[in-house]
Amino acid sequence: MTEALYLTDAYRTRFEARVVGVAPEGLLLDRTAFYPAGGGQPADTGQLSVGGEEGVRVTDVRKTSEGILHVVAPSPTRSMGAPVSGTVDWLRRFAHMRYHTALHILSGVVFRTIGSGITGNQIGEERARMDFSLPGFDRALAETLIDGVNAVVRERRPVTVRFLPREVALRDPSLVRVAQELLPDVETVRLIDIEGFDVQADGGTHVANTSEVGTVRLERIENKGARNKRLYLTTDPTAPTPT
């Protein structure tokens, strides 16, 4: 299986690896900093230089039963064991990081004030959305929730990663805010800890401090059913220099 470097260092954009599998559409590597699509977060994009040759474009990244597949263009031609240098597109990665953390803060605000859980989310480079199970929802309530998010952003709280056994995490409903059928079937659950505010199970990439999210703005709200409500948000910070 592929060693997922992004799980412990979301700011890492360059890495060295070796080819451990070749498929018609791409390459399996022994380690990678590329995030594969999942949990509402899109895949990273970037470049792979295989065997010292000119780089190929990574257009998609997917989890498979054999490891993390890097979809590249043009199709791969190198053999097993070839050395690889990878570079993740930083601006896309950082946009996903700050929006993912913004959604965690929003989830924490909703959980604290209303007690609602999450029914879905989607992260992009220019906006993000989150779905909640709420019987009543209007723009005034949505603006109040966004005010709560920005309060946490201004508090400059550290955001860290830790791990728990799955059975321990499932016993604490405050850690698993999504519907349980959406939680990956893994033995160890990765937790994103916003210091002194919120802890949630999650496999995506996040900023290291809430201040990096930037000022959050409510874009719009939608009713997606009798109880399911959707909130879209935007934010516009400056990206720091990657490592």
Domains and CATH numbers, the chain: 3-88 (2.40.30.130), 93-235 (3.30.980.10)
At residue 219, the pLDDT reads: 96
At residue 173, the pLDDT reads: 62
Q: Which of 57-61, 77-81, 184-188 has the highest mean pLDDT?
A: 57-61
Order of all β-strands in the sheet with 228-235: 118-123, 128-133, 228-235, 216-223
Q: Quick one: tokens of 99?
A: 């929006």
At residue 36, the pLDDT reads: 97
Q: Closest by alpha carbon to 29, among 15, 45, 40, 10?
A: 15
What is the rounded average pLDDT for all residues in the chain? 88
At residue 152, the pLDDT reads: 97
Q: What percent of the chain has pLDDT over 90?
A: 64
The gap from C-alpha 14 to its chain's centroid, in whole angstroms, comes to 18
